[in-house]
Structure 1
Amino acid sequence: MVLPISLMIFYGLEPQDALALPKTAISSAGIDTRRQKTGEPLYHPLFEPVSDALAKAPKHDAITLCANSWGKPWTYNGFSTNWDKLKRVLEAEQKIQPGLTLKGLRHTVGTILAEMGKDNGTIALVLGHATEAMAKHYSRRANRSRQASAAIVDLEAEVNRRKTKVVKPAEQI
């Protein structure tokens, strides 16, 4: 269960995409696949939390990367049922906020990218959206105050740079 959740948390994969991800989409360089819904290409380099989850995942014969305890590909309903059980435990331990959904993990990735200052094109690329409008939707709750403050600091510096310098006439020197 850790591996598919890792794919959703760290890459913002749609639950259906994470569960259907074929083993062939993974190499030492990363994940190379396409979104089922849009057909948009997805490439994500592997980084530690995901590579650790891959290394610890039980071996199985399913063609998908993620498999249930019987070694069969997860169905969305089966995974969702198990997620709900795990979610209740994590909420009780106050490790996650109540109401977190699998789809919400995808929105979280979009929000974090926007708060990092990434543009909608980059967010669309990471999430595999066909349009920047969808990236904007997924990042709409981002707190952009840090970006706005930085922009104002830059604006102030530019305004000061553009100020007309007063030059004294030669006879007054």
Structure 2
Amino acid sequence: MTFVRVKGFKIFADRHGQMRCYHRGTNQKVDLTKSPLGSVEFFADCARISAAAEAMKELQPKPGTLGGLFAAYFAEEHYLELSDATKREYRMCAEVLKNIRDTPVTTLDTPLLAAIHDELAKKHSWDKANRVRNFLIQVFRFCIPKGLISRNFAEGVIKKPRPKGTPEAYRTWTFNEVQTVLEAASPQLRAALAMIFCTGQDPSDALEFRKDQVDDGVIWKGRNKTNVGAAIPISGILEGELEKAPVNNAETLLASSKGTPWTYDGFASAWQRLRKKLEKAGKVAPGLTPKGLRHTMATWLREAGQDEREISDLLAQDSKVMGLHYSKNAALARKNRKTMQVWEGEYERRAQKAKLSNPQKKPSNPDKEIKPNE
């Protein structure tokens, strides 16, 4: 028997006497039924697999470089426990810096990072430059204890200020915009937007609310981003919206048109299609975002006279009342119910104002007084 050897490949007979061939580095198989051992096709397949493996090897981050620091951080438990939205954000930041990932760690210092920060602001935006800065701070923070870098040089980089006249990142919605969007959305998307609007939570949190987290009309959950516990009363408005949603067998309160839990990407795609359609038709002003609904609840509560502590407790903003593994705090739930009642009252006030400003039809008798409930 003639034996064939190819560098980097494992060629052997299996227990049935059949010849097998695998690339050692990638374990990729050479199909010997299509490319017989020793044939021109066989050597061509080996060459192709070896070239692809070398190309992939070149893409791997090198130790002692900025890319190596990224790889070390992405393997950290801290990163793996982040919300999907934050993971996407950090991966995006790493992608923005891919052209300089081979920069040796020994050359990194604050002046160099400040120059990179300036360049990113010119090429992309002040906001993206600041987000990359924040990402680098996290990477360096976790790489210092490992001895991979000596200092957190990114902390010395001064954040770019918001340019004057720049629109608010997550502007509040008007009452009419809320109603217009909900009426135009599909039943599943409407339920998701209503959940964000009526709970004041981040979209990534609201999409993940599970049915087993509801107890006595309260949703108990820790926020993904901050690990802060939340006790969110289900208002009558939200209850009505959820009743309109199609029944689903998902473990989550919300489900996509497939009847499965929403993915963030799926929700974002559905939202973008709806937003562009409504903007093109002139039915809503530019700048609407789902996260803006969270800001809308906070704004309405402030205008209704609620203090920052009451708003923070309901929106789970840096509250230390409960941690991620929280116990159900009845006092907080009662407090948040009162805050939610204030929000419901503010909703009704704005609904009446919108109704009087934009009546659906004119009264048959022009002299008849229009009462709030008509």
Indicate conservation of the 8 Å contact 1:28/1:46, yes or no.
no
Counterparts of 2:280 and 2:213, CA distance in 1: 35
Structure 2 portions without partners, runs of 5+: 1-188, 321-374
Equivalent of residue 115 in structure 1, options 297, 300, 303: 303
Structure 1 portions without partners, runs of 5+: 133-173
The equivalent of 1:19 in structure 2 is 207
One-letter code aligned to 1:11: T
Percent identity over the alignment is 37
One-letter code aligned to 1:89: K
Return the structure number with greater relative CO, CA threshold 8 A, min gap 6: 1
Aligned ranges 1:48-59 → 2 under 5 Å: 48-59=236-247
Deviation of residue 78 (structure 1)? 0.7
Q: TM-score, normalised by structure 1?
A: 0.68
Q: TM-score, normalised by structure 2?
A: 0.33
Deviation of residue 100 (structure 1)? 0.5
Equivalent of residue 252 in structure 2, options 50, 64, 71: 64
Counterpart check, 1:43 vs 2:231: yes
The equivalent of 1:82 in structure 2 is 270
One-letter code aligned to 2:227: G
Counterparts of 1:91 and 1:27, CA distance in 2: 39
Indicate conservation of the 8 Å contact 1:29/1:45, yes or no.
yes
> Kindly tell me: are residues 90 and 31 of structure 1, through their superposed partners in 2, closer, same or farther at Cα, counting changes over 3 Å?
farther
Indicate conservation of the 8 Å contact 1:4/1:18, yes or no.
yes
One-letter code aligned to 1:42: A
Deviation of residue 95 (structure 1)? 4.6
SS at match of 1:77: helix
The equivalent of 2:221 in structure 1 is 33
Indicate conservation of the 8 Å contact 1:15/1:103, yes or no.
yes
Q: For 1:85-140, what per-residue CA distance to the aligned partner results, in whole angstroms no more than 9, with x for missing partners?
A: 122233345553321111111111111111112111111111101159xxxxxxxx
SS at match of 1:20: coil
The equivalent of 2:68 in structure 1 is none
Equivalent of residue 10 in structure 1, options 195, 198, 202: 198
One-letter code aligned to 1:130: D
Indicate conservation of the 8 Å contact 1:4/1:19, yes or no.
yes
SS at match of 2:227: coil
One-letter code aligned to 1:7: M
Larger radius of gyration: 2
Deviation of residue 84 (structure 1)? 1.0
Aligned ranges 1:101-140 → 2 under 5 Å: 101-130=289-318
Counterparts of 2:223 and 2:287, CA distance in 1: 25
Counterparts of 1:76 and 1:29, CA distance in 2: 25
Counterparts of 1:95 and 1:31, CA distance in 2: 33
